């Protein structure tokens, strides 16, 4: 059996305060509260800018020992450089503190822009750079440039463990068989992205990592998931886990505050028989 982890894409949203987050809860305790209800979270701030080691250390301090953090790759790599000539930017991203997560480091998510079509040479070069263990990550991180000061890097792994990667594509060309075969060859998980018809959808298996991003059932980033939809995602998750795949599901429908409630709802459906999930 693979493991199933469920969480949200990010955790700091104004609309969640006084709703999912109890009224009066101070902002610095929001992640702690979320981590008490879920088994994982997707760090999105790393997509917009390099984080500091202190950010990753704080995440470790505020979450349970068995909590896992997926880290979203830098948009400088995916959107601006479009995966080309990214060895140093990748090193900067990896050096910025990911290793400080220790055993809580989960998959790395690479979200591509809708304009980026599949190019075998570009994809192969990028996949070939990606580290597969924390030791490889540390080795590549040492190639960072002077954008990062000595106190802004972490270059020593706390634990030796695999590093896994997921790719969220937004151009149909990535769903062709040559592209899928390349993903399989490099053991990169194709993200199952539910986006109300906005971007390509596929449940094609390219890795033992099943990474799901739920962007909204009927309205992008906004609408919630019905009980029937959550039942369906629970069934899919169990089937994938029964096949030996590790499943990570993140709700990104945060605009109206539905994401954390839907995540808790899915976790309730996945709770072992006879175990009552927290429904507070």
Binned at pLDDT 50, 70 and 90, residue 197 comes out as: confident
pLDDT one-digit tens code per residue, 98-128:
999 999 999 999 999 999 999 999 999 999 9
Place of tokens 């962007």: 215
Contact 137, 163 (CB under 8 A): yes
| Nearest partner of 227 among 267, 265, 254, 253, judged by Cα | 265
What tokens were used for 111? 């979200």
pLDDT one-digit tens code per residue, 77-98:
999 999 999 999 999 999 999 9
CATH of 13-203, one of 3.40.50.1970, 2.60.40.3880, 3.30.360.10, 3.20.20.410: 3.20.20.410
Look at residue 185 and tell me whether its pLDDT is greater than 90: yes
| Nearest partner of 139 among 130, 147, 127, 126, judged by Cα | 130
Give the whole-angstrom CA distance, residue 20 versus residue 10: 13
Look at residue 280 and tell me whether its pLDDT is greater than 80: no
Binned at pLDDT 50, 70 and 90, residue 221 comes out as: confident
What tokens were used for 9? 């894409």
- Sheet strands (E) in the chain: 4-8, 40-43, 68-72, 105-111, 165-168, 188-190, 192-194, 209-214, 246-251
| Nearest partner of 109 among 130, 125, 88, judged by Cα | 130
Look at residue 63 and tell me whether its pLDDT is greater than 70: yes
Q: What is the pLDDT of residue 159?
A: 86
- Maximum separation of any 2 CA atoms in the chain, in Å: 55
Look at residue 277 and tell me whether its pLDDT is greater than 70: no
Binned at pLDDT 50, 70 and 90, residue 273 comes out as: low
Percent of residues, the chain, with pLDDT higher than 70 = 97
Contact 194, 230 (CB under 8 A): no
Contact 253, 8 (CB under 8 A): no
Mean pLDDT of the chain: 95
Give the whole-angstrom CA distance, residue 164 versus residue 245: 12
Helix pair angle (177-185, 120-129), 10° resolution: 20
Look at residue 222 and tell me whether its pLDDT is greater than 70: yes
Q: What is the pLDDT of residue 274?
A: 44
Across 25-29, 40-44, 270-274, least confident range: 270-274
Look at residue 137 and tell me whether its pLDDT is greater than 50: yes
Averaged pLDDT for residues 186-194: 98
Averaged pLDDT for residues 204-219: 95
Give the whole-angstrom CA distance, residue 203 versus residue 192: 6
Could you write out the DSSP letters of every residue in 48-61? HSPPPHHHHHHHHH
Look at residue 275 and tell me whether its pLDDT is greater than 80: no
């Amino acid at each position: 059996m693979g493991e199933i982890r469920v969480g949200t894409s990010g955790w700091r949203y104004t609309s969640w305060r006084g709703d999912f987050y109890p009224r009066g809860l101070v902002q610095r305790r929001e992640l702690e509260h979320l981590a008490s209800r879920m088994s994982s979270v997707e760090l999105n701030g790393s997509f917009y800018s390099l984080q500091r080691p202190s950010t990753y250390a704080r995440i470790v301090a505020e979450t349970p020992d068995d909590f896992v953090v997926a880290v979203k790759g830098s948009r400088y790599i995916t959107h601006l450089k479009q995966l080309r000539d990214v060895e140093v930017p990748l090193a900067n991203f990896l050096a910025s503190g990911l290793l400080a997560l220790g055993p809580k480091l989960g998959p790395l998510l690479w979200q591509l822009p809708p304009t980026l079509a599949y190019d075998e040479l570009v994809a192969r070069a990028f996949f070939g750079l990606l580290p597969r263990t924390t030791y490889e990550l540390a080795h590549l991180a040492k190639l960072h440039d002077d954008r990062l000061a000595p106190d802004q890097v972490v270059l020593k792994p706390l634990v030796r463990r695999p590093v896994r990667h997921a790719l969220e594509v937004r151009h149909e060309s990535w769903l062709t068989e040559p592209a899928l075969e390349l993903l399989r060859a490099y053991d990169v998980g194709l993200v199952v992205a539910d986006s109300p018809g906005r971007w390509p959808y596929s449940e094609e298996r390219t890795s033992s990592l099943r990474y799901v991003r739920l962007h909204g059932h009927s309205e992008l980033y906004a609408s919630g998931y019905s009980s029937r939809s959550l039942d369906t995602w629970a069934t899919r998750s169990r089937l994938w886990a029964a096949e030996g795949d590790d499943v990570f599901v993140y709700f990104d429908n945060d605009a109206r505050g539905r994401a954390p409630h839907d995540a808790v709802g899915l976790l309730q459906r996945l709770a072992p028989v006879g175990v009552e999930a927290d429904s507070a």
